Amino acid sequence: MTSVRDEVAGIGSDLAPSQQEKDAVRGFVSDVTRDVKQLVQQEVALAKAEISAEAGKVGKGAGMLGGAAFAGIMAVVFLSTALWWALANVMDQSWAALIVAGLWLVIAAVLFVVGRGTLRSISLKPERTINSLKKIPGAVKPPARRNA
């Protein structure tokens, strides 16, 4: 027999959860925890994959800019040599040096334009990861209940 105090406290009444219900709640919480952990791991892997793909493009663009810098240095060397030859000699050798320096300037300009264009087209923002993360709140929310 249960006292009034026990019934108010929930002891001996039907309100106390059974062991089966407790196990079901534990299982549900465990499943949710595992699913969230797996989801976070997948999102991190996706972000890493996107960023590493874009990093390769950055390397290529930086290499072209490095080539442009080298070509610019070569142009400065040849322009300096041309100026020296122009002052030291009369015309023959200096014109040849100017033509070579002009060629290096064209190469530098082409490499610079191509490298800059490559870098401008790159986005390091992981778009797929961001879009996927935007979908998570809707997937986690419980379905809406209808009021009858």
- Residue 62 and residue 114 in contact, taking contact as beta carbons nearer than 8 Å: no
Rounded-to-integer distance, Cα 130 and Cα 141, Å:
19
What pLDDT shows up at residue 109?
A: 93
Nearest-angstrom CA–CA distance, 89 and 57: 47
Amino acid at 93: Q
Query: Would you say 38 and 115 are in contact if contact means Cβ atoms under 8 Å apart?
Result: no
Note if the pTM is more than 0.85. no
pLDDT of residue 141: 61
Name the DSSP class of 57.
H
At 69, which helix (H) or strand (E)?
A: helix 19-88
- Top-confidence residue, 41 or 129: 41
Question: 47-74 pLDDT, tens per residue?
Answer: 888 788 788 888 888 899 999 999 998 9
Decide if pLDDT at 18 tops 60: yes
